[in-house]
Chain A
Amino acid sequence: MNTEERQLAEMLHRITPEPPRRVTVEDIAYRVASEGNGRGRVPRQRRGSSFASGAFGGRRWAPALAALGVIVIAGGTAAVASVATSHSSHSPSANGTPTSSASVSSSASSPSPSGTVSSVPPGAKLTVAGGMWGAQLIDRQSFDQESLTSSGGSLFAFGNGTLNRIDPATGIVTCSTPYNAPVPGRPVVVGNTVWVVWSYGSGDIFLHGYDESTLDQVASVEVPAIGGTVSSAQGVLAAAPDGKLYVAAGREIAIVDPASRQVTRQIFLTAGQANSVAVAPDGKLLYIGISSADSFRLLIYDAGTGRLLNISAMQGGEGGNLIATSGGVWGTAGTGMSEWVWFAPGGDLTRSSRVTQGAGAGLASLPSVSGGAVWIGGSHELICASPATGKALARTTIPTDHGVVEYFGSVTVLDTGHAYALYSDEHAQLTGVAQLTPPAACSGSSGSSGS
């Protein structure tokens, strides 16, 4: 270390205060026990917390903190407290609109003498969000929002240090492996392998592949990041119809052959560093997002020749999370409360339109494509849209539970036709994977899906 570094180190040690209290083993034991085999997250009630919620202690999903003059936003991984609930479930109406607000609420069941709360019997499905779209919680796990994806008959999601395979019938995590996502983005399943971005550094990127059935690691691929990666990266891994993986790797898009586990081709970018990538459903076009402080550019490349075909831009800061469908490209713009989802017909941002506002409250509202439709969740509406036209096929207001946020996101559709989403109810401190029965209009869309 040089003198300046030593001075910085000395200052940090000198000024950083001692914590008001220590974390105890009991805190961790409570959390581990509540999460079940170490999955999900349940922060133990903070002693002395001034914003405890009833008997259930401090909440991560706590807009009530606004009362303190501070807007505190929920976590990327939601806190979970399994509570005994007396829930009045309602059948959704024909168009999927809930007939009443969700009414998940704490029942007369009081916390156990040990101070922990009672839990909903495992395996039981719980109707949530007023039964909109037939929503039933199949488990009480907590995963990173927008991390849910599916393949064949399984669900995959990550959170709290693990990548998990989830049985959609029971909600049980059937296997898991250590994993911490370095950048936002869903796992990508190609063949029998679940691919994730393992590390996303400035100099190199590693992809890891896991066996779909066992989650045993079967592959590791190093991808050079030319010119360094960007901190705004979100949605940097996509799969083409031929199974090739496309990775936004700084000033290049690296194309990885999952079979040989090698980077087989690189498309070098002259316009900047990519923060997101998507591949058209027919595999012919490549869409690349480049984000800067005040604008977002979408580049279209010919995937076959690597030739740049078009650049369009929109004002408004960070963007990314691209997905491509037959009719165009979807993505996000902005950050935080101002984040919103757009659809650009033909990948032309000058013709883009806003599909929905952002989720707010620190929650993601990202588009996903599955089962022939585009899905956009959040805390305001749950939408399915046509991948060909970008038009909403059905949109249903997500009820607020006692005036606080309920959330659906990361919708994915299994081969069985059942749809699943990550769900969170701030009021009831309830999170998990919800099974959905979307309105019939959602399955009537034309056009193929994309990456």
Chain B
Amino acid sequence: MDGRPSEPDGFRDFVEARSGTLLRSGWLLTGDWASAEDLVQTALAAAWPRWGTLTRQDAPELYVRKIMVNTFLRWRQRRWTGEIATARLPELQAYGDAFAQIDARQALLGALDRLPPRQRAVVVLRYFADQTEAQTAEAMGCSVGAVKAHASKALARLRETPGLAELMTGGVAS
């Protein structure tokens, strides 16, 4: 007996298969890997004790994403994250080298930082995690109409972000 809680069936497979994508979602939400890791750990730890139920409902990833988003929103509402919004985004340079990739990431995070938390969450869930509007609404605890409204406003704001249009239409190869 090593004191370690017994691992739910299928949990390891899920973590190994999905933690990379979940971490990338967390990075888009929080802007740094440490917070992303905390977010994913928080969600997976919450899912652990009810894993059996979640798998029976065939919805473990939806649940994990829901916890991630709600935790993220709570962090943003209740704590100051220390992020200083910048009025100017980094200049987008000609791409094709490693620095360009870093610039692109900074530009992306800068643009996401300018979104209110709920709009940012919708962007990540809808357009990165490929969740449907209904799934996004379920994860965020709001209506489909609200998701549509957040998405529309987020797109409008991203559209106005200098340099982001170039990233969306051309950009840099990963």
Contacts and interface: CB of A to CB of B under 8 A. Distances in A.
Contacts of B22: 23
A362 B79 contact: yes
B128 A22 contact: no
B4 to A, nearest CB: 5
A38 B46 contact: yes
B134 to A, nearest CB: 13
A229 B171 CA distance: 36
Contacts of B71: 77, 180
Contacts of A8: 123, 127, 155, 158, 168
B141 A145 contact: no
A254 B120 CA distance: 28
A375 to B, nearest CB: 18
Contacts of A4: 155, 159, 168
A362 B80 contact: yes
Nearest to B173: A14
Interface string B1-24: 011110100011001100110111
A25 interface: yes
Given A181-B74, A182-B70, A11 B171 contact: yes
A251 B14 CA distance: 43
B89 interface: no
A67 interface: no
Contacts of A200: 141-142
Contact of A9 (B40, B128, B150, B172): B128
B80 A73 contact: yes
Contacts of A31: 41, 45
Nearest to A160: B46
A76 B78 contact: yes
Contact of A22 (B19, B27, B174): B19
B167 interface: yes
B158 A74 contact: no
A5 interface: yes
A16 B128 contact: yes
Interface string A319-352: 0000000000000000111010000000000000
Contact of B143 (A16, A184, A203): A203
Interface in B88-116: 101, 104-105, 108, 116
A181 B81 CA distance: 18
A218 interface: no
B24 A144 contact: no
Interface of B: 2-5, 7, 11-12, 15-16, 19-20, 22-24, 27-28, 33-34, 36-38, 40-42, 44-46, 48-50, 66-67, 70-71, 73-75, 77-82, 101, 104-105, 108, 116-118, 123-124, 126-128, 130, 137, 140-143, 145-146, 149-151, 155, 158-159, 167-169, 171-174
22 contacts: A12-B108, A12-B127, A18-B20, A23-B37, A25-B16, A28-B11, A28-B45, A32-B48, A33-B5, A35-B45, A41-B42, A43-B41, A73-B79, A75-B38, A76-B79, A77-B71, A145-B78, A162-B46, A201-B142, A202-B145, A231-B117, A362-B80
